[in-house]
Amino acid sequence: MQLNDTIVVTGGAGFIGSNFVLDWLAGSGGRVVNLDLLTYAGNPANLAALTGDARHVLVRGDICDPELVGSLFREHRPRAIVHFAAESHVDRSIVGPEAFLRTNIHGTFVLLEQAKQYWSDLDEESRRDFRFLHVSTDEVYGTLGPDDPAFSETTPYAPNSPYAASKAASDHLVRAYHHTFGLPVLTTNCSNNYGPYQFPEKLIPLMILNALEGKPLPVYGDGANVRDWLFVKDHCSAIRAVLERGRVGESYNIGGNSERKNLDVVGAICDLVDELRQDAAMGSRRKLITFVKDRPGHDRRYAIDASKVGRELGWNPAENFEDGLRRTVRWYLENMDWVEGVRTGAYLKWMEQNYSERLS
């Protein structure tokens, strides 16, 4: 069996996945078979620009379904699998961890098992060219003190949330399938992403929309938790680089070189919304900042050392945080139809469940 110039993307209707699919096809990449279960965070509207584009095939399905996954591989003969599909919200993993174990661990196992069978049937040249790229998170490394060095690819795993533990388990499975079976895998561990199409339960879009509407801006604890922020378009370019030039079996940390305290991020959002949607009656939106009860086990600091991907593959983030945040705020303000389309009853129920007690 020989390969086509096709890739299979899992979770390609979600935030990062849809940005990757759009970026891939805009860059004249080959055909994309997009497998997504279209749960609350998977949104076909993210891919509206591809309507009628024969290079994009959206398949609604579950990565935990081995018959479906195997049939897609055999039918489309992809040269690579790019695996984004995951439950990814820490707060949701605290309330309901089982879904995270199913999707992130068992789903990854199913993909690996079906990929191994598919890869084993390829001719020798195609076996050399095939890649399985697993997209993971810096949260597998745990938390850092204020003066600790940033996470590198050799930092021991120490996940502190059910979400992080499920992603750590999936990382280990990917590594094991390479070392045991020879499957040509690559793993990327990224820092916090932001940008267009992010579901508005996450910090940056939630704060943009609440600030716009004059609602409280709930900041966990003292707001001093630190994250490294990566513009989603930069993440997409890094994945391309790893897929094209990464060494088989290796992991690559991807970061934005933009450590910020959560409180500083929220303040910057307030200032941008004030500038772009002036409201004299509301005044400064910083007054909407409301400190709420912290979530259990909240990691204090993440930071990524991305020197390996820069040194080996020549990748560095192109977007600084200030410009990327401005682009993001402007996108949400100019795409309120998309926002209202994802603010379903399920979204409102989650916001009530997660924030009502904290705000009270």
Residue of 266, 265, 281 lying closest to 217 (CA atoms): 266
Give the up-direction half-sphere exposure of residue 296: CA atoms within 13 A in the CB hemisphere: 9
In a domain, 306, yes or no: yes
In a domain, 149, yes or no: yes
Whether residue 225 lies inside any domain: the answer is: no
Q: Which domain holds residue 237?
A: 6-194+231-257+298-319
Partners of 132 in the beta sheet?
A: 81, 185
- Known catalytic residues are 138-139, 163
Looking at the domain assignment, is residue 167 inside a domain?
Answer: yes
Mean pLDDT of 18-28: 94
Q: Are 186 and 131 in contact (CB under 8 A)?
A: yes
Residue 338 has a pLDDT of: 93
- Confidence category of residue 96, pLDDT binned at 50, 70, 90: confident
Residue 214 within any structural domain of the chain: no
Residue range 288-293: average pLDDT?
Answer: 96
Neighbouring-strand partners of residue 57: 33
- Is 352 a residue whose pLDDT tops 80? no
Mean pLDDT of all residues belonging to the chain: 93
Residue 290 lies in a domain: no
Q: CB under 8 Å to 131, separation ≥6 — which residues? A: 79, 80, 81, 184, 185, 186, 243, 248
CATH of the domain at 307: 3.40.50.720
- 178-226 per-position pLDDT tens digit: 999 999 999 999 999 999 999 888 999 999 999 999 999 999 999 999 9
Tens digit of pLDDT for each residue in 299-351? 999 999 999 999 999 999 999 999 999 999 999 999 999 998 887 755 456 44
Q: Is the pLDDT of residue 358 over 50?
A: no
- Report if residue 187 sits inside a domain: yes
Q: What is the mean pLDDT of residues 30-40?
A: 92
Question: Would you say residue 348 lies in a domain?
Answer: no
Total of domains in the chain: 1
CA atoms within 13 A of residue 178's CA, in its CB half-sphere? 19
Is the pLDDT at 353 greater than 70, yes or no?
Answer: no
Which tens digits make up the pLDDT trace of 330-344? 999 999 999 988 877
Range with the poorest average pLDDT among 84-93, 123-132, 269-278, 281-290: 84-93
Confidence (pLDDT) at 350: 45
Is residue 289 over pLDDT 50? yes
Please list, in sequence order, all residues whose beta carbon lies within 8 angstroms of the beta carbon of residue 75, skipping any fewer than 6 positions away.
none
